[in-house]
Amino acid sequence: MNNFVIINLFVFCRGQGLSWITMNNSEKSNAHSLLGRFIQRQESSIIIALVLYMAIVSFVNPTFISSANQFNVMRSAGFTLITVVGMTFVLITGGLDLSVGSVLALGGVITGIACRAGLPVPIAVLMGMLMGLVIGLLNATIIVRAGIPPLIVTLGMQYAAKGLVSVLTKGVPIYPLPAGFKAIERLRPAGVPMVVIFAVLVAIAGHVILSSTEFGRSIYALGGNEEAARISGIRTKRTKFYVYVLTSMFAAIAGIFMSARLGSAEAAAGSGYELTVICGAIIGGTSTFGGTGSIIGSVLGALFMEELTNSLTLMRISVYWQNLVVGTILILAVVLDQYKRNLIMRQAIRSIGKGEENAA
């Protein structure tokens, strides 16, 4: 199996080299131009890292790249992809939301309790979503109206939501859930899990909002310079309010999907989830300082985190070591973000200095 992969890779590389040699100058120039545009894209580094990592792990353990395993990765990634869209919005504004893991668990638990109480599945799902809306409104109101830093507010909300989950469940999973609710997970149009379809739709909507709407431009402006954005007429408080509400809503929806997959609502469902989401967004190119980021990059970053977790599990690496790896990646991503930020600042100062010299 490994020899077959290596031979095909060798033939492919030789073929690419031969086609490069036979190109005329115009074709080579176009290839350089395409390569340059790809490298300049914000998402290029995470794409290269993802492809290389998957290639290396597949060589070590061919099971990793199997269709069955990748299907499981995509299904697990759906939960993270839903929430990473909202987290990207928050990070671009220069904020942070540490409550998404607890909100995920709370959304699933409220839905599970409603189902066990005999309420229709659509009503139960709406109740779980409503809980996410309530948490988002609380976060947004305290952050925007009271002016308290998002780190403090969302950290407090993380513990409050986690405490509420413990009170409601007493540490015991809520099960069995009705077949009508679990059917959400079994529903697979064209063989694709519903959570993946929903996550893709959310990602597409998030990308369109950020790149093509006034609300998206206000998110970038808020993260770039909040005071300048306010002076220019952007309703910064409203923008900040909406992004926190959306993030909590997405987390609750992810929790509902997770409960449908597990067939039970569990208090520990969102444990450590916030770090995975934040790490995925940051390694995807979203800056912790605000003003920079993209949905495409964050989605790729979230996929990288899921591929990483899955590969470590396949290689039977302890979950404790997995947490160490995730924490290390998060730190390195933030350090790299700071380095890129300083590099851009130095280049900007250098350009200003050259401009002044030319003017003189």
pLDDT at 288 (0 to 100): 85
What is the spatial distance between Cα 281 and Cα 298, in angstroms, rounded to a whole number?
4
Is residue 155 helix, strand or coil?
Answer: helix
Taking only the tens place, the pLDDT of each residue in 256-285 is 999 999 999 998 888 888 989 998 999 888
What is the spatial distance between Cα 339 and Cα 129, in angstroms, rounded to a whole number?
39
Fold held by 67-356: ABC transporter involved in vitamin B12 uptake, BtuC (1.10.3470)
Average of pLDDT values for 159-168?
A: 95
Nearest residue to 297 via CA among 211, 217, 219:
211
Unique residue bearing structure tokens 């590969």: 311
pLDDT at 43 (0 to 100): 72
Average of pLDDT values for 127-138?
A: 97
Which residues, in sequence order, are CB contacts of 261 under 8 Å at separation 6+? 75, 185, 195
CB contact at 8 A, 173 and 264: yes
Please report which confidence band the pLDDT of residue 14 belongs to, taking 50, 70 and 90 as the band edges: very low
pLDDT at 358 (0 to 100): 66
Please report which confidence band the pLDDT of residue 349 belongs to, taking 50, 70 and 90 as the band edges: confident
- Mean of pLDDT over the chain: 85
Taking only the tens place, the pLDDT of each residue in 67-122 is 999 999 999 999 999 999 999 999 999 999 999 999 999 999 999 999 999 999 99
Please report which confidence band the pLDDT of residue 28 belongs to, taking 50, 70 and 90 as the band edges: very low
CB contact at 8 A, 94 and 251: no
pLDDT at 7 (0 to 100): 34
More confident residue, 137 or 2: 137
**Given CA atoms 212, 347, 331, 239 in this order, what sign does their dihedral have?**
negative
DSSP state of 283: H
Average of pLDDT values for 115-143?
A: 96
pLDDT at 42 (0 to 100): 66
CB contact at 8 A, 247 and 97: yes
pTM: predicted TM-score of the whole model, two decimal places: 0.83
CB contact at 8 A, 175 and 264: yes
The alpha-helical segments, DSSP class H, found in the chain are 2-21, 25-40, 44-60, 67-92, 100-116, 121-145, 150-169, 179-186, 194-212, 214-224, 226-231, 236-262, 273-283, 295-314, 319-359
pLDDT at 359 (0 to 100): 64
Taking only the tens place, the pLDDT of each residue in 298-314 is 999 999 999 998 998 88
Please report which confidence band the pLDDT of residue 144 belongs to, taking 50, 70 and 90 as the band edges: very high
